[in-house]
Structure 1
Amino acid sequence: MSDMLWSGWGDPGKAAPLPEQVVALLRDMLGVKPRDLPPVALGDIVPPAPRLAGKALADLAAHGEVRTDAETRVRHTRGKSTPDLLAVRQGETVHTPDAVVLPADHEGVLAILALAAEHGFAVVPFGGGTSVVGGLAPAADAFVALDLRRLDALVAVDEVSRTATLQVGLRGPRVEELLGGHGFTLGHFPQSFEWASVGGFAAARSSGQSSAGYGRFDDLVVGLTVATPAGTITMGRAQKSAAGPDLRQLFLGSEGAFGVITELTVRIRPVPAVKVYEGWSFPDFATGSAALRALIQDGPVPTVLRLSDETETLVGLARASSIGEGGSGCLAIAGFEGEPEEVAARRAGAGTVLTALGGTPLGEEPGESWAHGRFAAPYLRDSLLDVGAFVETLETTTFWSNLPVLYQAVRDALPGHLVMCHISHVYASAASLYFTIVTPEIDWPAAKTAVNEAIIAAGGSISHHHGVGSDHLAAYAEEIGPLGVGVLRAIKAELDPHGVLNPGILVP
């Protein structure tokens, strides 16, 4: 399994510098300037000596492959938020693990957790390393990164129940390859799809770009096996049960703070025979939002449904050629997957609704262009960072009736910066707003705090699909209240009595 670019996103071969005319535009219109210090080279970063005693490393080696070389440790430092990348590009090693351990099975994970309690080091589960909320920056002195890539098997496919049991180290493309051999798909395609692991999908409550039709990842999970410092817990005898509270929900979104998910059973579906994506233009964000709400509430429901605001549409994160007449408007993408007749019927019905609610059809070209480039945005972020711009994303969610208030609150919390937004996920009662900020300079910790406070004050949730990590910890505590915090701490104390799992993450 290949590693991501240590100082950026994804495959180094796919990284491309910005065209000079774009660099000039950033310089002339936004005042972007090259950074004072160029990024350091990977080989020049020297992490501090491992803080683990020799016996601890020797004990770990009995239960997994142990790596302590500088390059491996740096590659497991932090996640992929913009602050993460800027820190690692300058050679910061504050959150560099003391060792990287690669267990081969569930029993190895259990043994490593026991050793952590015995020797007094922390454990940070590591899947694809794609966290953008400080989820890989624990509040710990000595810690190991628990790299789960060796847990990479398709354990079983139940074609009758349409479920598959997967080990958590599998990345998105490999899952589709393995399931495709049986004629099935998971249908989960977040922007991190090419690099994130299915364990990460579960631990962070991931939401894929086809969520309108397939649901979020937590909607797909019917069973879990989890290794905790207190032992193994297995959940999910059936998709639905009234046998008490659903304990699966303790670990879906738990970000490695309560246990390490080692295996999960998910719903699957046949590979769709047809996939069609199309573009629609709306005169403004409010009109487009109302049209999306009508579709998701009353149908017919597309598989993919998203809407860019005027700014995002105009600057080209959505295709500028798809802007409505007069140089303004908002671009929506609707995608339909399934059998040919069913897709045609849904597409025609959705088209009738969208047209009646102010939409103008743009044909398949904008939709197919979006589908072709939907995993490319993080590479663009890296290219912008390379020339000195600051680019970061954040997301939130609320009920439809409160969406305009939340949208404006976030924009008001970021004055003087280029702020773009799209509705990324839609549900009958609510929707998610995904913001992108581009600016020559910003005090991001202060801005992030202001945005978090604005989201909570406006009635939104601190996260829809990025999770809590350490970046959202204070706002999350306010969102769930003191009693909710007490519940989380009680769960943590029961499952992780020595506090070795990802300390400082999720649990206030």
Structure 2
Amino acid sequence: MLWSGWGDPAKARELPEQIRTLLHDLMGVSEPSAAAAFDEVRLPSLSLPDAAAAELRDVVGEAHVRSDHGSRVRHTRGKSTPDLLRMRAGDGSEAPDAVVLPGSHEEVLRVLEVCGRHGVAVVPFGGGTSVVGGLVAGSGVIALYLARLDRLVSVDTESMVAVLEPGLRAPDAERLLGEHGLTLGHFPQSYEYATLGGFAAARSSGQASAGYGRFDDIVVGMTVATPTGTLDLGRAPKSGAGPDLRQLVLGSEGAFGVITSLRLRVRRIPAETVYEGWRFESFAAGTAAMRTLAQSGLLPTVLRLSDETETMIGLAKPEAIGSGGSGCLLIAGHEKDRHGAAAALAQAGGTYLGAEPGQAWEHGRFAAPYLRDSLLAAGATVETLETAGFWANLPRLYDAVRLALLGELGTPLVMCHISHVYETGASLYFTVVTERGLAEWENAKRAVNAAIVAAGGTISHHHGVGRDHREAYAEEIGPLGVEILRAVKERLDPAGIMNPGVLIPSPPPPAA
């Protein structure tokens, strides 16, 4: 994983000259100064107590406690645009004091016990793909890197359940399950680098969510190490025995403990997946067609609709959708009989475009983060944000986000697509390109958060809360909801060492 960008540097994408011209002539983007070199990243002095470091080495072994420059840099922050811009500037001020690699559930428990006694904070680290400020370390903090917890433990083909460890990267999990003819069917844009533990901790949603559900839908059980003990959750497909405590851990982003094992629903690998494109006259018409599919039980495995701007920018061959490239592109991926869904799309006003647009999307489905790196290197600020709402409220939510961005950033390029669809609503995923700098983007992000809450949307459909959404999340769940979270945090993590500053809203200042 590139320390100052996304993924494999060998897969970096050059910006076409016409895009550079667009950035320069229409948006006023100028080339930035060169990014810092790896060995130029400025790190804070080590502050991990010697006694704590020695005890950690006793627990996991000398080789698995690392404080070298490279390990600290590579475990600093996540992959949001603010994270990357700070790294490109050589700012490693939030680097951990050490990177600790436990090899078992028991070792995780012992690490948490050592850190609790010494007042050392713990940031669980999987693939490092957080885009909401979920991996900020800093002085007196270790990154608990779960890469050694990377096994497929067992497969139960009678129940169609597999037990896997959280440090498995998604491609490795698919390879191991594929040897049994099985798949998780979970393919988010972060697929190449994200881990199973991260998927659960952030309630990830993959591109095939219409067919396979979100990741939290496939978690049937888990083991969690907390500073006060072990949680072993999920012993049946469904239960009437009280509240489902799995839901307390899913989406908790390491604030309550560390997921050390996952029991997941698996499916047979499909014989074939067919991707195709459809054109709709407008975003509203395409949205209505998606709602029809969702409410009639005709959802394909993959279903996503780009608005007019994303369609125009994203198509290398605008003539492929006719009408001079206008309208909106819908991508559908089918693993079963496609005829019912195709008939419904045609009846809703869709024009069938054949397989080429779908195949083009499939070929580039994990490439967008590489393009973001190229845009950042060219001097633009590029970021994504997402939300979700009920069908009736989706137009209001779409307009509210766009207006907030325009109000703060002037004339940004704002693109949107719907990519996760339910009977009752869907998500909206925005990509924003602007010439404005980091401080102005952060102001815009706060304005968008407020607009989402005011418009009745959720602050995140699948990116999570992290630090970036924490205060807006407090508004979403209300004062009593915040008190419940704080009570759980205090019970499971009384010393407050687990990923401090993430998820749990800050307490109000004391009364004067």
Deviation at residue 16 of structure 1 after TM alignment: 2.5
State the distance in 1 between where 2:144 and 2:315 align. Answer: 35
In the alignment, residue 131 of structure 1 is paired with which amino acid? S
State the distance in 1 between where 2:313 and 2:171 align. Answer: 30
State the distance in 2 between where 1:94 and 1:304 align. Answer: 41
2:475 maps to 478
User: Mean Cα displacement is larger for which, 58-67 or 496-505?
Assistant: 58-67
Q: Which runs of 4+ in 1 moved over 2 A?
A: 19-22, 317-324
| From 448, 452, 462, the counterpart of 1:465 | 462
- Report whether the alignment pairs 1:47 with 2:43: yes
Matches within 5 A, 1:323-334: 323-334=321-332
State the distance in 1 between where 2:323 and 2:17 align. Answer: 29
Q: Aligned residue pairs: how many?
A: 496
2:510 maps to none
2:12 maps to 15
User: Is the contact between residue 74 and residue 96 of structure 1 (CA under 8 Å) also seen in structure 2?
Assistant: yes
- Report whether the alignment pairs 1:412 with 2:403: yes
User: TM (normalized to structure 1)?
Assistant: 0.96
Tell me the alpha carbon deviations over residues 380-406 of structure 1, each in whole angstroms, 9 at most, x when there is no partner.
000000110110000000001100000
Unaligned 5+ residue runs, structure 1? 338-342
1:378 maps to 369
Matches within 5 A, 1:108-127: 108-127=107-126
User: Is the contact between residue 312 and residue 318 of structure 1 (CA under 8 Å) also seen in structure 2?
Assistant: no
State the distance in 1 between where 2:449 and 2:274 align. Answer: 37
Deviation at residue 24 of structure 1 after TM alignment: 2.1
In the alignment, residue 110 of structure 2 is paired with which amino acid? A
Deviation at residue 317 of structure 1 after TM alignment: 6.0
User: Is the contact between residue 44 and residue 93 of structure 2 (CA under 8 Å) also seen in structure 1?
Assistant: no
Deviation at residue 168 of structure 1 after TM alignment: 0.3
User: Is the contact between residue 188 and residue 207 of structure 1 (CA under 8 Å) also seen in structure 2?
Assistant: yes
Deviation at residue 51 of structure 1 after TM alignment: 0.4
Deviation at residue 425 of structure 1 after TM alignment: 0.4
State the distance in 1 between where 2:231 and 2:297 align. Answer: 39
In the alignment, residue 205 of structure 1 is paired with which amino acid? R
State the distance in 1 between where 2:21 and 2:81 align. Answer: 22
State the distance in 1 between where 2:315 and 2:153 align. Answer: 39
Deviation at residue 318 of structure 1 after TM alignment: 8.0
In the alignment, residue 408 of structure 1 is paired with which amino acid? D
2:52 maps to 56
- Report whether the alignment pairs 1:454 with 2:445: no
2:152 maps to 154
1:348 maps to 339
In the alignment, residue 304 of structure 1 is paired with which amino acid? V
State the distance in 2 between where 1:301 and 1:17 align. Answer: 36
User: Is the contact between residue 207 and residue 465 of structure 1 (CA under 8 Å) also seen in structure 2?
Assistant: yes
User: Is the contact between residue 376 and residue 382 of structure 2 (CA under 8 Å) also seen in structure 1?
Assistant: yes
In the alignment, residue 430 of structure 1 is paired with which amino acid? G
Deviation at residue 463 of structure 1 after TM alignment: 0.1
Q: Tell me the SS of whatever aligns to 1:62.
A: helix
State the distance in 1 between where 2:211 and 2:56 align. Answer: 43
Q: Tell me the SS of whatever aligns to 1:355.
A: helix
State the distance in 1 between where 2:384 and 2:412 align. Answer: 13
In the alignment, residue 460 of structure 1 is paired with which amino acid? G
State the distance in 2 between where 1:321 and 1:192 align. Answer: 30
State the distance in 1 between where 2:379 and 2:319 align. Answer: 27
User: Is the contact between residue 171 and residue 192 of structure 2 (CA under 8 Å) also seen in structure 1?
Assistant: yes
User: TM (normalized to structure 2)?
Assistant: 0.95
Tell me the alpha carbon deviations over residues 8-41 of structure 1, each in whole angstroms, 9 at most, x when there is no partner.
0001111122133321232112221111x32110
Report percent identity of matched pairs: 64
State the distance in 1 between where 2:118 and 2:201 align. Answer: 26
In the alignment, residue 207 of structure 2 is paired with which amino acid? Q
1:100 maps to 99
Deviation at residue 321 of structure 1 after TM alignment: 4.0
2:311 maps to 313
In the alignment, residue 90 of structure 1 is paired with which amino acid? A
Deviation at residue 441 of structure 1 after TM alignment: 1.3
2:249 maps to 251
Tell me the alpha carbon deviations over residues 51-109 of structure 1, each in whole angstroms, 9 at most, x when there is no partner.
01211111111122100001110100000000000001111122110100001111111
State the distance in 1 between where 2:454 and 2:22 align. Answer: 36
Deviation at residue 159 of structure 1 after TM alignment: 0.3
User: Is the contact between residue 201 and residue 251 of structure 2 (CA under 8 Å) also seen in structure 1?
Assistant: yes
Tell me the alpha carbon deviations over residues 457-483 of structure 1, each in whole angstroms, 9 at most, x when there is no partner.
000000000000000011000000000
| From 464, 482, 492, the counterpart of 2:489 | 492
Q: What's the RMSD between the two structures over aligned residues?
A: 1.1
State the distance in 1 between where 2:384 and 2:281 align. Answer: 25
**Cα distance, 1:317–1:365 mapped onto 2, change above 3 Å:** closer
1:278 maps to 276
Unaligned 5+ residue runs, structure 2? 506-512
